[in-house]
């Protein structure tokens, strides 16, 4: 049998008061796996007979799972760190965009396994406890277990996050973020421009309407120093 990754509880931060009190949090999928478990009997009990459904042998399926978990565990958190729920400065859309830019998000065989683990790793412990409780219930009601449940897990987590945190308040956060974008001359301009594009795309999706080109240019110039903006206007 191949060496299997040890799953350990994630997150040591305190409860997010904007989400739920610690004592009321449910146990997350990753947190529920014992430290000495290979990666949960709930997963391995479902291996037999799955090779026809997934197109790989049971041994290869285990290897893919091990590699997916290890890559997720070793991957860096998105810019801004773990998502903190209502107290986070990012909208849920901005957070999910950042998560999906992870190098391994759509790479390899069965990327949905990596996605399930990585997305859960990217949630603060308080948020994870709430969201995974919702997701576990949904997957159970759908009759999904083991690898079937894990394959559907990332999509369920995203859906639960959007349902809980896409609010009027989060919309206001994104609108304020768009209006307040500024480039600090001490920072790398390419990094700033990437952030500008992310906020633009998120704001457009939130509005359900593309921003007009003139509005985008005006906002970009407004984010630059006056000297640079004046120089660009004269040049172009």
- Does the model's pTM come out above 0.85? no
pLDDT of residue 49: 45
Question: Band of the pLDDT at 23, cuts 50, 70, 90?
Answer: very low
pLDDT of residue 161: 94
CA gap 83, 138 in Å, rounded = 22
Domain ranges of the chain: 22-165, 168-235
- Over residues 6-17, the mean pLDDT reads 35
In whole numbers, what is the pLDDT of the chain averaged over residues? 76
Greatest mean pLDDT among 108-112, 201-205, 232-236: 108-112
The length of the chain, given as a count of residues: 236
For residue range 153-191, list pLDDT tens digits in order.
999 999 999 988 876 556 676 777 788 888 888 888 888
For residue range 62-102, list pLDDT tens digits in order.
899 999 999 999 999 998 899 998 888 788 888 998 999 99
For residue range 107-162, list pLDDT tens digits in order.
888 999 999 999 999 999 989 998 999 999 999 999 998 889 999 999 999 999 99
Q: Check pLDDT > 60 for residue 5.
A: no
């Amino acid at each position: 049998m191949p060496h299997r990754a040890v799953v350990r509880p994630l997150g040591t931060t305190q409860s997010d008061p904007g989400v739920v009190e610690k004592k009321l949090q449910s146990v997350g999928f990753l947190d529920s796996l014992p430290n000495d478990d290979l990666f949960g009997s709930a997963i391995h009990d479902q291996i037999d007979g799955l090779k026809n459904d997934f197109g790989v042998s049971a041994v290869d399926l285990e290897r893919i799972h091990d590699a997916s978990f290890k890559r997720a565990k070793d991957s860096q958190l998105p810019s801004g760190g773990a998502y903190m729920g209502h107290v986070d400065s990012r909208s849920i859309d901005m957070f999910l965009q950042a998560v999906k830019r992870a190098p391994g998000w759509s790479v390899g065989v069965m990327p949905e396994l990596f996605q399930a683990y990585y997305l859960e790793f990217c949630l603060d412990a308080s948020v994870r406890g709430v969201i995974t409780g919702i997701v576990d219930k949904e997957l159970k009601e759908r009759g999904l277990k083991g690898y079937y449940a894990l394959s559907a897990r990332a999509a369920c987590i995203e859906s639960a996050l959007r349902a809980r945190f896409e609010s009027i308040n989060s919309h206001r956060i994104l609108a304020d973020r768009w209006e307040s974008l500024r480039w600090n001359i001490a920072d790398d301009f390419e990094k700033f421009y990437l952030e500008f594009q992310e906020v633009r795309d998120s704001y457009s999706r939130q509005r359900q309407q593309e921003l007009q080109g003139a509005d985008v240019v005006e906002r970009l110039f407004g984010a630059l120093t006056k000297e640079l903006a004046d120089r660009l206007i004269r040049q172009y």
